[in-house]
A and B are shown apart, each in its own frame.
Chain A
Amino acid sequence: MVAIEFRDVYFRYNEDTPWVLKNFNLKIESKETVAILGHNGSGKSTIAKLANGLLMPQAGEIFIDDRKITPTNVWEIRQKIGMVFQNPENQFVGTTVRDDVAFGLENRAIAREEMLRRIQESLQQVGMEAYENHEPHHLSGGQKQRVAIASVMAIHPQVLLLDEATAMLDPRGKKEILATVLSLKEQLAITTVMITHDLQEISIADRVIVMNKGAIFKDTTTDKLFNSHQELQSIGLTIPLSVQLAIELEQYGYPFSTYPLKQEELIETLWKSHLKM
């Protein structure tokens, strides 16, 4: 099944500004974990806002779970696609963690019994069940984002969409969120889309889409991404240190079948080649 599909989509913010997306096509299958990568201004956040009907395209069609987004069904669509945004401070309405998760459920008129069950369930999914009665503003950045994810998961969406959800977090917060997303992927096999410019994050994705100037520049699997490292550098993306070193080491006759995102992989591959020499 197709979770998200963009068909010949055109979008611009104003009539006198250039197209942000021009004849844009994208298909994300259900249960995929996809990272959308690109520098600031490449159009990646616009994709997120179009996917849940915060913006409407000037031309073309967008389908979520095989249903076309229209102004009349946009509320229904938002039930299918849960979004977590960049700034953890801007996403809280409740005075306790529990109230906050309850907010989205109340809006959808979920019965109380079911609501209590879902709050428990979603807080457990993100490992925040011990904080049910805490005030959100006393939590760390990573914890706040986990609660934001729980609020989204409580709605039982088909797609979880994270729009630079780790950009404002410290290194520990980033790790917490990655671990949470990975565990949701394993527990629930939910379709996950991560919009990011952090190369650490793509390590948990199966597929990577690189955006440049409003178009798909590369659509590939995570382990093959850096095979085209020169092209990626040409559009201003930074190559991780382990990949940079692997590229250099190849010049000296140490082969890499895939470029390593993890340091351990780099060292192990180097070690194996070294033993053969």
Chain B
Amino acid sequence: MEITFKDVSYTYQPNTPFSHQALTNMNLTIRDQEFVAVVGHTGSGKSTLLQHINGLLIPSSGEVQIGSFVLSKGQKKQDLKKLREKVGVVFQYPEHQLFEETVERDIRFAMENFHIPKEDIQPRIMEALAQVNLEEEVLAKSPFELSGGQMRRVAIAGVLAMKPEVLILDEPTAGLDPQGQQAIMDLFYRIHKERGTTTILVTHQMADALAYADRIIVLAKGSMLMEGTPEQVFANPDLLAEANLDMPEVLTLLNHFEERFGIHIAYQRQSAHDLAKEMIEKLRET
């Protein structure tokens, strides 16, 4: 689904002393099946932006279009449930939202709420479980008996079982160990490719933005500071520093290398093995 923000501004608690403008004149198009990373320092407006995509927030001014849904202030109330069926959100620490007695009932909950036909529910549970790499045995367990990493997978399975066309991921790997982080990101990337979901990843990990995104959007103080392919965005270290963001480790390393040896190596998602090989080849040429 294509998503368009047209001159969107959002103010929390307007006309009160606590009034705070979190988004200012945001213009943005996310193409169907695109993988977009949204980065920005805490307080830059990332979460506010996300919450417009599934109708949790309605713009104070301007308009958000998601597929055929149009969200704008003063528009007559529409069925947001239909929108939310198509837009799956994995919130931060989604395991905090588990509440049912068994894993199965937790995964089932959203589907029942959205009136998915009864005969479809069981196959969808099994499919989602396989996608997040959990064994069938966990279905009968209480989610609270599971490890943190497993609980997160259960919460994600609940979102995937809805078969959303848009996946919104709000720091989905926060708090996991490095192996767990890698596994979760690989999982989302696979689903993005296999299902052709439009995927929006909010992250503090520049390495993930670099590795997975087609395009990166940099927010600062509620506005778009920069946007472009990872190559374009990370070619602007000064602007990133202004937004209080770091460069991905691999790029700073290649920059150090270039400063020392005067040799440029373009990063094209090479492994450490291939990078080392390229470094040596170029060193031997000099």
Contacts and interface: CB of A to CB of B under 8 A. Distances in A.
Contacts of A264: 256
Contact of B176 (A40, A236, A245): A40
A274 B42 CA distance: 42
B273 interface: yes
Contact of B149 (A40, A247, A254): A40
A113 to B, nearest CB: 38
A29 interface: no
Nearest to A241: B249
Interface residues of A, number: 35
Contact of B42 (A86, A164, A170, A252): A170
A270 B284 CA distance: 13
Given A40-B149, A263-B252, A263-B253, A249 B42 contact: no
Interface in B251-285: 252-253, 256-257, 260-261, 272-273, 275-277, 279-280, 283
A40 B147 contact: yes
Interface in B159-173: none
Nearest to B182: A238
Nearest to B258: A267
B137 interface: no
B196 interface: no
Given A171-B204, A241-B272, A245-B253, A271 B179 contact: no
A274 B253 contact: no
B180 interface: yes
A248 B149 CA distance: 31
Given A40-B149, A263-B249, A248 B244 contact: no
B261 A271 contact: yes
B120 interface: no
Interface string B193-206: 00000000000100
A141 interface: yes
Contacts of A241: 249-250, 253, 272
Given A40-B149, A86-B175, A249 B253 contact: no
A194 to B, nearest CB: 15
B74 interface: no
Given A40-B149, A248-B272, A168 B175 contact: yes
B178 interface: yes
A167 interface: yes
A115 B21 CA distance: 40
Given A241-B249, A249-B279, A268-B260, 8 more contacts: A168-B175, A172-B41, A172-B244, A242-B253, A245-B272, A248-B272, A248-B277, A252-B276
23 contacts: A39-B177, A39-B178, A39-B179, A41-B147, A164-B175, A167-B174, A172-B41, A197-B177, A197-B178, A238-B179, A241-B249, A245-B253, A245-B276, A245-B279, A248-B272, A249-B276, A254-B280, A263-B252, A263-B256, A267-B253, A268-B260, A271-B260, A271-B261
Interface of A: 39-41, 86, 140-141, 164, 167-168, 170-172, 197, 199, 236-238, 241-242, 244-245, 247-249, 251-252, 254, 263-264, 266-268, 270-271, 274
